[in-house]
Amino acid sequence: MAEKQGKTYYMVAGERSGDLHGSKLIRELRQIDPELSFRAWGGDEMEKEGAEIVTHYSKMAFMGFWEVIKNIFTINKLLSLCKKDLMATNPDVLILIDYPGFNLRMAKFAHSKGIRVFYYISPKIWAWNQKRAYKIKKFVDQMFVILPFEKEFYKSFDYSVDYVGNPLIDSVNAFTPKKNFRLAAGLGDKPIIAILPGSRKQEIQNMLEPMVELSDEFPEYQFVVAAVSNLDKSYYQRTEEIKGLKVVYDQTYDLLNSAHAALVTSGTAALETALFNVPQVVCYKTSSLSYFLAKGLIKVDYISLVNLIAGKEVVRELIQHEFNSKMLNLELKAIIDKGSKRVSQLEEYALLKKSLSTDSPSRKTAELMIDYLKND
Q: Provide the whole-model pTM.
A: 0.78
The CA distances from residue 210 to 179, 189, 234, 304, 314, in Å, are 31, 24, 17, 19, 23
Query: Read out DSSP for 185-209?
Result: HT--SSPEEEEE--SSHHHHHHHHH
Under the banding of pLDDT at 50, 70 and 90, the label for residue 191 is very high
In the chain, what are the domains?
Answer: 8-165+359-374 (3.40.50.2000), 173-356 (3.40.50.2000)
pLDDT at 29: 97
Please say whether the beta carbons of 165 and 30 come within 8 A: no
- Give the lowest-confidence range in 72-76, 212-216, 289-293: 289-293
pLDDT of residue 199: 82
- Range among 234-238, 285-289, 320-324, 337-341 with highest mean pLDDT value: 320-324
Whether the pLDDT of residue 63 is over 60: the answer is no
On the question of pLDDT at 71 being above 70, the answer is: no
Continuous H helices in the chain: 16-32, 44-48, 65-70, 72-89, 100-112, 132-139, 150-155, 168-174, 181-185, 201-213, 237-241, 252-258, 268-275, 288-297, 305-310, 325-336, 340-356, 361-374
Question: Strand order of the sheet with strand 316-319?
Answer: 246-249, 222-227, 192-196, 259-265, 280-284, 316-319
Band the pLDDT of 122: cuts 50, 70, 90.
very high
pLDDT at 1: 45
Angle CA 297–298–299, to nearest 5: 115
Q: Are the CB atoms for 254 and 278 separated by under 8 Å?
A: no
One-letter amino acid identity for 89?
T
- The pLDDT tens digits for 194-248 are 999 988 888 888 889 899 999 999 999 999 999 998 788 888 887 877 766 899 9
Q: Which of 273, 285, 278, 267 is nearest to 324 (CA)?
A: 285
